[in-house]
Amino acid sequence: EREPATANLMADLSISAGIDRLVTWHPHSPQIQGFYDSVPVVKLEALSLFIESFERFRDREDVIVVAPDAGASKFVTKIGRELNLNAAIASKYRPHPEEATIQEVIGDFSGKKIAIVLDDMISSGGTVQALIKELAAKKGIEEIYLGASHNLCLQSAHKRLVDLIENDGLKEIILTNTIPQTEPFLSMPGLSVRDISGVLSQVIWQIHHNQPVSEVL
């Protein structure tokens, strides 16, 4: 799967407008950085945010972290390693647009009762819904916690998340404010929004004063 041509177009427009540097939070694909090859790119990952958010599950043998697809596997594996939790990866395909089917979930679910599902983005919610229903129905998972860096606030995603809360053991949803969240999402039970403005402002300050950003990362 490739990034849409519009992603490259936006990069060209930004560079033509005169940007000197790009600071981005948890980009959807590494390919995006290549579109900005003529300007420096600082990629901020959500590792620290989600590690802190799910710190209470550290070292628990009944908890597993799950990647919805291969694209999220490296990110989820890092968080699992930091929290000393096992990790699993789902294999999916899309028979139709905005519809996902989980073929299998690869990982050891022996004794696991709680799953933490992590991804960079929720758009229609099809992948999240398919995965969580698979975990609840076939893997013996009783409680599910969901973390995502970006939520596009689509109506289809809201409907699916409400269904998961009511029927499939979804207990908590952690998002960030990279996109302003709409009232229907903010009123959902168990949903919280993390503010990343502090991280962004600190990185911008470091860059402006010619200081390394590694300590912020």
pLDDT in tens, 135-148: 999 999 999 999 99
pLDDT digits 0-9 by tens, 166-202 = 999 999 999 999 999 999 999 999 999 999 999 999 9
74 CB burial (10 A radius; 0-12, 13-18, 19+): exposed
| Average pLDDT of the residues in 47-53 | 95
Residue percentage of the chain with pLDDT more than 90: 78
- Phi and psi at residue 157, in whole multiples of 5°? -70, -40
Q: Which residue has the tokens 């998002």?
A: 175
Residue percentage of the chain with pLDDT more than 70: 95
Whether pLDDT at 102 is above 90: no
166 membership: H or E segment, kind and range: helix 155-167
* Bridge partner residues of 118 (DSSP): 147
Q: Which residue has the higher pLDDT, 96 or 212?
A: 212
Residue 196 and residue 49: Cα distance in Å, rounded?
A: 9
pLDDT for the residue 107 = 95
| Average pLDDT of the residues in 10-28 | 93
174 CB burial (10 A radius; 0-12, 13-18, 19+): buried
Residues taking part in catalysis? 92
pLDDT for the residue 37 = 87
Whether pLDDT at 68 is above 90: yes
Whether pLDDT at 42 is above 60: yes
Confirm if 8 and 37 have CB atoms less than 8 A apart. Answer: no
Q: Which residue has the higher pLDDT, 9 or 217?
A: 9
Whether pLDDT at 1 is above 60: no
Q: Which residue has the higher pLDDT, 7 or 122?
A: 122
pLDDT for the residue 4 = 72
Residue 132 and residue 36: Cα distance in Å, rounded?
A: 35
pLDDT for the residue 6 = 87
> Chain-wide mean pLDDT for the chain?
92
Whether pLDDT at 13 is above 70: yes
